[in-house]
Amino acid sequence: MLSNLNFRAGVLSVVILLFFLGVWQLATAPEVLMIQEEELSEYEMLTGGGGQRGSSGIPAPSEVISHAVSELSNPFYDAGPNDKGIGIQLGYSIYRVLLGFFLAALIAVPFGFVIGMSPLLNKAFDPFIQVLKPISPLAWMPLALFVIRDSNISAIFVIFICSIWPMLVNTAYGVASVRNDWLNVAKTHELSKVRTAFTVILPAAAPTILTGMRISIGIAWLVIVAAEMLVGGTGIGYYIWNQWNNLDLASVIFAIVMIGIIGFLLDLSLAQATKLVRYAD
Amino acid sequence: MPTKSLSDPFDANSDLRHDSACRHGHHGPGQCSCFDTADPNLERRMDNGEFATTEPHHAEHKAQDTLDEEALIDRAVESAVVRGMFGHNEINRRRFLQMLGGGTLAAALGSVMPLDKVKAAIKDGGPLEKTKLRIGFVPITCATPIIMAHPMGFYERYGLDVDVINTAGWAVARDMSLSGEYDASHMLSPMPLSLTLGTSSSSREHFIMPAIENINGQAITLHNKHKDKRDPKDWKGFRFAVPFEYSMHNFLLRYLVAEHGLDPDQDISIRVIPPPEMVANLRAENIDGYLAPDPFNQRAVWDEIGFIHMLTKEIWDGHPCCAFACSAAWAEEHPNTFGALFRSLIDATQYSSDIENRAEIAKVISPRAYLNQPEPVVRQVLTGRYADGLGNVQDDPHRIDFDPFPWHSMATWILTQMKRWGYVSRDFDYNRLAEDVFLASECAEVMKELGYEPPSDTYKNFEIMGKVFDYTDPEGYLESFEMRRS
């Protein structure tokens, strides 16, 4: 029954996709294919063939797909600093996101733990967290570039700063809301503070912590594209910017799809990790 | 040709001020202590030995009997540094020298400033301090010499291994240069001036511009719906885009509309938009037009969105545009590398200036690694045979041109416009700043060495829309405009 539902949903998804692509293809097809009877004049040659392209300027899905096939067939070529394959560009972005994200986790989780366990610190730090949390990560970019003086590290810093808040807040919340019964049990067993933290609080708060991490990586992946468009150089954000320079929308759409897929995979991996630590009461 | 004051900077009796030529009692007639930078006969007179001094009691002066070009360069650099050190305060400098003597100053100076190294670099290079360089460029045709020097091997010829890095915009080029990530960078010619003035960034740093990348090469593009509005007087309420505030684009657009009686701050709006976004914004009718670098003017025609209203060469034929710049500190630290880079760029610029080479260059720089544009678009810009979007094929080989020589008076003009529109309010010495940033003398030296013919002066007057800019009176020029912010 369940597999049956999955199967039916899968079929429906494919139908929706095909329908969507079909509409897109029809909407962007050149209206009339003009047959050239005489030679193009020089002026028409200089303006790219005198209005031969589709009127909307948006590429048809067939164009995007053929572009995707050619990009993906050789994803790791490297032709100098400004021309690298999509695989290398994505690799740079993933590397920056993961590095910034794990650095943030390294600080946010222990710090969140401390805040969660101490109502005093919780209240004392709350105003700072509340003010810093809503700042757009990209607002830090000019400051980061100026202070750090390295664009790559600045990008990683921006990922770090945007990842830290959801993890911090969730960890603190998860730790603070561990059931009192469990803490009391730990007390009656005369467990030390450290032991209580690792054997009782951490497992209890783990699902909340991982939820925070899942939110963080989602935000980090959103931010890296914009950050790389801003500083240029390498990464999927730079790739989009460079293709935009050429107003090459087929490449831009292809890159958007790739960003979606990678973002989905990152989210999926943390969702799986959350499942691992969750347990029924 | 060095044209700064060429008196001995270590002599208490000499005067380094520009306007002080031939005023001192202790010099005989014809023995100027200071060359008039405006003198067009300077070179000829110098060749005739007219400037040779006969004063016996100064060893330095004796050397001037045989002043050759190298010594002149040495002297120019020394003078500039000494003047810089004393903030152009002649009284202080002379008092110091009377007390301690020129030798002390020269020695003290040598210990803080690698003068010899800089001088040597301008003459001929020794071993390169650094061969692996990162140079930024913004992907527009103005960057042609910087870019094509890479695939065509001009950097390699001078022993450099250069990565040319596609940069997202001028703010990034500025930040990367300030942070030292780029050794040198493609900039807009007003940028090194504004960086040195400290007006466009949070930190103030002395930048130098050894060479201009290109002259002309910009255009005003309007949306197709404005085909009947060819008179700037009809542009009231238009929204224009320029690529950066400290750009010739901004200053030329302001100049043009002001000459037609429109106030660029009131009657039109000018916003900063990165070039690729301009075409997209024009299509969306979010802007009415832009004064922008190519290929984005030609690109608008190619995509049938807009037409080329006018080339900026019609405003000022031969105006400077993009620049090649680095920080003065970097040049001092890597004098030989700086010299090699300087040479390779002069070579590349000269190669680009030959119209015969343009079609080939277009082919080389169009791919994704460089400009990432369709080749026909780039070719139309570089060869000057282009469709204007109005149904005509135009032919203008000087649509974009390449001439490395950074006239000091170009900098002076830019500074008058920065002041005119309120980008800088404090007072400064126009010509001094121009000379500190635009390395015209050094450029002439390198050009000569490579067998090109540099102009014999570093200042000249320009005619912009029929009005002559007199570099000797920048303040007066500024006053002559009815429309100005300061």
Closest-CA distance of chain A to residue B240, Å? 19
pLDDT for position A96: 92
pLDDT for position B51: 37
Residues B418-430, mean pLDDT to the nearest whole number: 84
Chain B residues in contact with A46 by the CB 8 A cut-off are: 301, 376, 380, 385-387, 393
Closest-CA distance of chain B to residue A61, Å? 20
**Token output for A225:** 């594209």
Considering only CB atoms, A150 lies closest to which of B139, B179, B277, namely: B179
The amino acid sitting at B64 is Q
Residues B184-205, mean pLDDT to the nearest whole number: 81
Which among B148, B176, B195, B373 is the top mutation candidate for probing chain A, defined by the most A β-carbons within 10 Å of its own β-carbon? B176
Which among B181, B330, B370 is the top mutation candidate for probing chain A, defined by the most A β-carbons within 10 Å of its own β-carbon? B181
Higher pLDDT, A56 or B175: B175
Q: Do B393 and A243 touch (CB under 8 A)?
A: no
Which among A52, A53, A74, A82 is the top mutation candidate for probing chain B, defined by the most B β-carbons within 10 Å of its own β-carbon? A82
Considering only CB atoms, A43 lies closest to which of B277, B279, B387, namely: B387
- Over the stretch B444-467, which tens digit does the pLDDT of each residue have? 888 888 888 888 888 888 888 888
pLDDT for position B5: 37
- Over the stretch B240-265, which tens digit does the pLDDT of each residue have? 999 988 889 999 999 999 988 888 88
Residues B208-235, mean pLDDT to the nearest whole number: 88
- Give backbone dihedrals phi and psi of B311, rounded to 5 degrees, phi first: -85, 150
Rg (C-alpha) for chain B, rounded Å, is 23
Closest-CA distance of chain B to residue A215, Å? 29
- Over the stretch B344-385, which tens digit does the pLDDT of each residue have? 888 888 888 888 888 888 888 888 888 888 888 899 999 988
Nearest CA in chain A to B167: A232
- Over the stretch B151-160, which tens digit does the pLDDT of each residue have? 888 888 888 8
Q: What ipTM was assigned to the predicted interfaces of this complex?
A: 0.75
Contact B372/A at CB under 8 A: yes
pLDDT for position A52: 46
Residues B93-110, mean pLDDT to the nearest whole number: 56
Q: How far apart are CA B247 and CA B190, in angstroms?
A: 6
8 A C-beta contact, residue A59 and residue A28: yes
What is the distance, to the nearest Å, from the Cα of residue A59 to the centroid of all Cα atoms in its chain?
A: 25
- DSSP one-letter string for A109-145: HHHHHHHHH-HHHHHHHHHHHHHHTTS-GGGGHHHHH
pLDDT for position A101: 93
Q: In this prediction, what percent of chain B has a pLDDT beyond 90? A: 8
pLDDT for position B117: 54
Q: Do B376 and A48 touch (CB under 8 A)?
A: yes
Residue B198 pLDDT more than 60? yes
Q: Do A43 and B393 touch (CB under 8 A)?
A: yes
Higher pLDDT, B50 or B307: B307
A&B contacts, CB < 8 Å? 102
Chain B residues in contact with A51 by the CB 8 A cut-off are: 304
Residue B432 pLDDT more than 80? yes
The amino acid sitting at B140 is I
8 A C-beta contact, residue B162 and residue B191: no
Split at pLDDT 50, 70, 90, the class of B19 is very low
Contact B369/A at CB under 8 A: yes
B465-470 own/partner pairs: CB under 8 Å, 24+ apart: B465/B255, B465/B256, B465/B259, B465/B315, B465/B316, B467/B259, B469/B409, B469/B413, B469/B416
Per-residue model confidence as pLDDT tens for chain A (281 residues): 556 888 888 999 999 999 998 888 888 766 555 555 556 677 777 777 544 454 456 788 888 888 889 888 888 888 777 788 889 999 999 999 999 999 999 999 999 988 988 889 989 999 999 999 888 888 888 888 878 878 888 889 999 999 999 999 999 999 888 888 888 888 888 878 788 888 888 888 888 999 999 999 999 999 999 888 887 778 899 889 888 888 788 889 999 999 999 999 999 999 888 888 776 55
pLDDT for position B10: 60
Residue B75 pLDDT more than 50? yes
Q: Which residues of A touch B (CB under 8 A)?
A: 42-43, 45-48, 51, 57, 79-83, 142, 145-146, 149-151, 229-233, 238, 241-248
pLDDT for position A117: 86
Which among B175, B285, B308, B381 is the top mutation candidate for probing chain A, defined by the most A β-carbons within 10 Å of its own β-carbon? B175
> For all residues of chain B together, what is the average pLDDT?
77
Closest-CA distance of chain B to residue A100, Å? 21
pLDDT for position B115: 43
pLDDT for position B29: 39
pLDDT for position B89: 58
Residue B27 pLDDT more than 50? no
pLDDT for position B203: 65
**Token output for B113:** 């400033």
Rg (C-alpha) for chain A, rounded Å, is 25
Q: Do A81 and B163 touch (CB under 8 A)?
A: yes
- Over the stretch B325-345, which tens digit does the pLDDT of each residue have? 888 888 888 888 888 888 888
Residue labelled with tokens 């999955």 = A6
Nearest CA in chain B to A142: B175
